[in-house]
Structure 1
Amino acid sequence: MADGTATAAPAPLPQVGENDEAKEARLAKRRKLLRILAIAVVTIAALWGLWYFLTQAGRVSTDNAYVGADSATVTALVSGPVKEVRVSGTQTVRKGDILVILDDADQRIALADAEATLRQARQRYGQADATADAARSRVAARGAEIVQAQARLRDAEATVERTRAELARRESIAGTGAVSTEELTAARAALKQAQAARDLAAAGVTSAQATRGSAAGDLGAAEAVVRGTTIDTAPDVAAAQARVEKAKLDLARTVIRAPVNGIVTNKQVQVGQRIAAGAPIMVIVPIDAAYVDANYKESQFKKIRIGQPAELTSDYYGGDVVYHGKVVGIAGGTGAAFSLIPAQNATGNWVKVVQRLPVRIALDPKELKAHPLRVGLSMEATIDTRGR
Structure 2
Amino acid sequence: METKQENIEAAVKPKSKRKTSFLILLIALLVIGGGWFAYYELYAKFVEETDDAYVNGNLIALSPQIAGTVTKVVPDEGDFVKKGQVLVELDSNDTQIALQDAEAKLASKVREVRSMYAAADNYKAKVESSKVAYRQALSDYNRRKNLVERGAISKEDLIHYQDNVESAKSQLEAAEQSLEMTVALVDNTVLETHPGVKSAVAALRKSYLDNMRTQIVAPVSGYVAKRAVQLGAQVQPGSQLMTIVPLHEVWVDANFKESQMKDMRIGQPVTLTSDLYGEDVEYKGEIESLGIGTGSAFSLLPAQNASGNWIKIVQRLPVKIRLEEQNQDKYPLRIGLSMLAKVDIRNTDGKVLAKLPKQEARYNTDVYHNSLEEVDKLVAKILHENVGVTTAAQ
Please state which band the TM-score falls in when normalised by the shorter chain: 0.7 to 0.9
Give the aligned residue type for 2:84: G
The separation in 1 between residues aligned to 2:141 and 2:325, in whole angstroms, is: 96
The separation in 2 between residues aligned to 1:227 and 1:368, in whole angstroms, is: 64
Q: Following superposition, which runs of at least 4 residues in structure 1 exceed 6 angstroms of deviation?
A: 40-48
Contact 1:265–1:283 at 8 Å: present in 2 too? yes
Give 1:317 deviation, angstroms. 1.8
Q: 2:235 is matched with which residue?
A: 275
The separation in 2 between residues aligned to 1:343 and 1:48, in whole angstroms, is: 39
Give 1:336 deviation, angstroms. 2.1
Give 1:362 deviation, angstroms. 0.7
The separation in 2 between residues aligned to 1:208 and 1:273, in whole angstroms, is: 71
1:304 partnered with 2:292: no
The separation in 2 between residues aligned to 1:384 and 1:276, in whole angstroms, is: 49
Contact 1:298–1:357 at 8 Å: present in 2 too? yes
Contact 2:191–2:197 at 8 Å: present in 1 too? yes
CA RMSD of aligned residues (A): 2.9
Q: 2:338 is matched with which residue?
A: 378
1:362 partnered with 2:322: yes
The separation in 1 between residues aligned to 2:172 and 2:287, in whole angstroms, is: 82
From 260, 264, 287, give the equivalent of 2:220: 260
Q: 1:117 is matched with which residue?
A: 105
1:228 partnered with 2:180: no
From 56, 65, 79, give the equivalent of 1:91: 79
Q: 2:312 is matched with which residue?
A: 352
The size of the alignment, in residue pairs, is 330
Q: 1:156 is matched with which residue?
A: 144
Answer with 125-134 or 205-214: which moved more: 205-214
The separation in 1 between residues aligned to 2:100 and 2:244, in whole angstroms, is: 34
| TM-superposition CA deviations, 1:55-100 (whole Å, max 9, x none) | 4432100000000002100111111111111101011112111110
Give 1:310 deviation, angstroms. 1.0
Q: 2:94 is matched with which residue?
A: 106
Give 1:290 deviation, angstroms. 0.3
Residue identity (%): 40
Give 1:246 deviation, angstroms. 0.8
The separation in 1 between residues aligned to 2:225 and 2:141, in whole angstroms, is: 93
The separation in 2 between residues aligned to 1:383 and 1:151, in whole angstroms, is: 104
The separation in 2 between residues aligned to 1:149 and 1:352, in whole angstroms, is: 105
Q: 1:57 is matched with which residue?
A: 45
Answer with 284-293 or 45-54: which moved more: 45-54
1:336 partnered with 2:324: no
Taking the TM superposition and a 5 Å limit, the aligned residue runs for 1:159-178 are 159-160=147-148, 164=150
Contact 1:156–1:195 at 8 Å: present in 2 too? no
The separation in 2 between residues aligned to 1:211 and 1:295, in whole angstroms, is: 88
From 223, 240, 251, give the equivalent of 2:200: 240
The separation in 2 between residues aligned to 1:48 and 1:63, in whole angstroms, is: 22
The separation in 2 between residues aligned to 1:199 and 1:344, in whole angstroms, is: 101
Q: TM-score, normalised by structure 2?
A: 0.76
Q: SS where residue 373 of structure 1 aligns?
A: coil
Q: 1:15 is matched with which residue?
A: none
Q: SS where residue 57 of structure 1 aligns?
A: helix
The separation in 2 between residues aligned to 1:351 and 1:74, in whole angstroms, is: 44
| TM-superposition CA deviations, 1:200-244 (whole Å, max 9, x none) | 434433322221111000000010111112222222221121111
Q: TM-score, normalised by structure 1?
A: 0.77
**Would the alpha carbon gap of residues 45 and 346 (structure 1) be closer, same or farther in structure 2, given more than 3 Å must change?**
closer
1:314 partnered with 2:271: no
From 117, 135, 139, give the equivalent of 1:129: 117
Give 1:152 deviation, angstroms. 2.3
The separation in 2 between residues aligned to 1:267 and 1:242, in whole angstroms, is: 35
Give the aligned residue type for 1:322: E
Structure (1 or 2) with the larger CA radius of gyration: 1
Contact 2:283–2:326 at 8 Å: present in 1 too? no
Give 1:192 deviation, angstroms. 4.8
Contact 1:294–1:361 at 8 Å: present in 2 too? yes
Give 1:384 deviation, angstroms. 1.1
